[in-house]
Amino acid sequence: MVLWKDAQLLVVNKPAGLLSLPDGYDSQKPHLRSVLEPTFGRLWIVHRLDRECSGVLALARTAEAHRALNVQFEQRQIVKVYNALVAGDPPWKERVVKLKLRADGDRRHRTIIDTRRGKSAETSFRVLCRFGEHTLVEAIPKTGRPHQIRAHLAAKGFPVVGDALYGDRDHPAHSLMERLGLHACALTLEHPGSGETQRFEAPLPQDFQEILEA
């Protein structure tokens, strides 16, 4: 699970199904800090991944590192790269989606497209591999809105496989994976201590790999 560790920074490959933050209704559910702090001591959450999303995630090990990383996120200096397996075959090779998003915008607590009250959101997409009824897409969000990649892909008609919240739950494509087909594969940031630019990569988990090979 651990990709990098030093006195200021801990970078992990979060497994799908593990919460980034404590559950608001059940504090006993395992989450990143509850799993990692017994081994690594006090940790600060800098950013999050959806529970069913796997991949690279950075945590701060000091308050100073936490502040430094927060500034990088606020100034959009940190680059996050995701792989998404989507239903359908996009007619484009590359596309930038700029649709304003409003979090918790409906009864299902989804992030919705809202051109009047939504916040600016931008995601760059690039097709990596086409499988006919499914496509592997690279997604690079410029902004960090909740469920941004999922909402943008669904709005364009290519929901992430296994996404019961934003996709058509009866569509046969969504039975392909038992969880969300979204993986954070790379994260580039400036080390909060040295200032050196570092890129961390998390390999695709076994279930994701097996689906692609099949």
Active-site residue set:
50
Tokens 């989606």 belong to residue: 97
State how far the Cα of 150 lies from the Cα of 69, in Å rounded to an integer: 25
Hey, CA dihedral for 149, 103, 17, 47, is it positive or negative? positive
- DSSP H stretches of helix in the chain: 32-40, 63-74, 148-155, 206-213
Comparing C-alpha atoms, which of 113, 144, 142, 100 is closest to residue 125?
142
What are the backbone angles phi and psi of residue 192, rounded to the nearest 5°?
A: -65, -15
Q: What sign has the CA pseudo-torsion 163, 165, 168, 169?
A: positive
Q: Which residues pair with 81 in a beta bridge?
A: 186
Is 163:150 a contact under the CB 8 Å cutoff? yes
| Element containing residue 145 per DSSP (H, E) | none
